Amino acid sequence: MNNVSVADLLVLILACAAGTYLWRALGVAVAGRLDPDGELFSWMGCVALAMIAGLVARMLVEPVGVLATTSLLERLGATACALVMYFGLTRRNLLAGVVSGCVAIVLLQLLR
């Protein structure tokens, strides 16, 4: 970790940026050759949505890092608070829903 020059770090960042942008560029290139109303498109939409839903479910059910210090019941309780706030109490106010979920998970830790 020591004696790493700024130039080396910049090369690292640039290389990682290129490796990330590759997929974005490929996506634009593929899109140009496909029919946006076609079947391949709706399949890719499904894959993208399922990817995110899978990530969310994983983060709530078996989290890693700081969230792993909470119990499943606490996470589900806080999630329920957010859902009630978003769908029930406010007319789908995202900020209100997100904030109430976060406040709930913190309060549940303090009440332990």
Is the Cβ of residue 28 or residue 73 nearer to other proteins in the bound state? 28
Kindly state the DSSP code that residue 1 receives in the 8-state scheme: -
Q: Is 41 among the residues that bind other proteins (CB under 8 A)?
A: yes
Please, what is the minimum distance in Å from the beta carbon of residue 32 to other proteins?
7
DSSP state of 35: -
The distance of closest approach from Cβ of residue 35 to other proteins in the complex, given in angstroms and rounded to an integer, is 8
Work out whether 84 is an interface residue with other proteins (CB under 8 A): no
Identify the burial level of 63 via C-beta atoms within 10 angstroms of its C-beta, where 0-12 means exposed, 13-18 middle and 19 or more buried.
middle
Which 44-73 residues touch other proteins, going by CB under 8 A?
44-62, 65-67, 69-70
Rounded CA separation 6/12 (Å): 10
Contact predicate 40/34, CB 8 Å? yes
Tell me the closest approach of the beta carbon of residue 85 to other proteins, in angstroms. 9
CB of 74 to other proteins, least distance (A): 10
Q: Under rule CB under 8 A, which residues in 4-23 are in contact with other proteins?
A: 4, 6, 9-23
**Contact between 110 and other proteins per CB under 8 A:** yes
The residues near 105 (Cβ < 8 Å, ≥ 6 apart) are 70, 74, 75, 78
Copy the structure tokens of residue 70: 């909470």
